[in-house]
């Protein structure tokens, strides 16, 4: 059986190598990304996520998910022990319907479902809107979209590779529903960037 990793073994593999220090670093990076839309945050920590899960994706999950936050895992996220690892280390209940989740994890940006499939919250309770954690091939601070809004001094530039062609139009259309909407964290390797619902996205 040497070399074969079962789902149980994958789930029991360590999360943060240095639980206290790495958890603090991941929290600071995640908060900084959400507070400063478009800024790319570099994580300086060690993680042992399962195959196919980037360090930044794993760190965002360990930072944001807990036993009170139902999570939806895209079908490809359930492969190679990723779902078992996330559930074991966060305690988050896994739901089968995207619209019932407080968080959603996608390891394949190209297969991102329609934004309308997720809970946008309500005018009375906009905080119920879901947060998406989307793993992408690359993040770049040049040659991308122009961003403006809270947390951005003038304008920020962010290029996100691997998203469906329909994403830009769908995300711009969502602005009309504010304060309802979605907050999105993009992860690539050890880097994080965020598009909160308050950010105005321009081509």
pLDDT digits (tens, 9 = 90+) for 121-179: 999 999 999 999 999 999 999 989 999 999 999 999 999 999 999 999 999 999 889 99
Whether the CB-CB separation of 49 and 57 falls below 8 Å is answered with yes
CA 35 to chain centre: 15
Let me know if residue 186 belongs to a domain: yes
CATH of the domain at 93: 3.40.50.11310
The reply to whether 1 falls in a domain is no
pTM of the model: 0.91
Lowest mean pLDDT among 74-78, 150-154, 179-183, 187-191: 74-78
Residue 68 lies in a domain: yes
Burial of 169 (0-12, 13-18, 19+ CB in 10 A): exposed
121 part of a folded domain: yes
Domain limits at 45? 7-202
Q: Is 42 helix (H, G, I), strand (E, B) or coil?
A: strand
Beta bridge partners of 140: 159
As for how many domains the chain has, the answer is 1
């Amino acid at each position: 059986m040497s070399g074969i990793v079962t789902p149980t073994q994958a789930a029991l593999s360590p999360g943060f190598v240095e639980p206290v220090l790495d958890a603090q670093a991941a929290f600071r990076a995640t908060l900084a990304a959400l507070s400063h839309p478009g800024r790319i945050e570099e994580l300086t920590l060690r993680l042992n996520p399962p195959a196919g899960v980037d360090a930044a994706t794993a760190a965002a999950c360990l930072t944001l998910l807990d036993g009170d936050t139902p999570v939806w895992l895209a079908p490809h996220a359930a492969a190679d022990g990723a779902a078992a690892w996330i559930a074991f280390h966060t305690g988050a209940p896994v739901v089968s319907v995207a619209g019932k989740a407080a968080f959603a994890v996608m390891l394949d940006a190209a297969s991102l479902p329609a934004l309308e499939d997720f809970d946008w919250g309500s005018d009375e309770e906009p905080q119920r809107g879901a947060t998406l954690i989307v793993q992408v091939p690359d993040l770049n601070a040049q040659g991308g979209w122009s961003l403006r809004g809270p947390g951005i001094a003038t304008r920020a530039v962010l290029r996100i590779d691997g998203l469906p062609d329909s994403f830009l139009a769908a995300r711009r259309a969502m602005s009309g529903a504010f304060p309802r909407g979605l907050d999105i964290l993009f992860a690539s390797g050890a880097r994080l960037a965020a598009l909160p619902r308050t950010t105005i996205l321009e081509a």
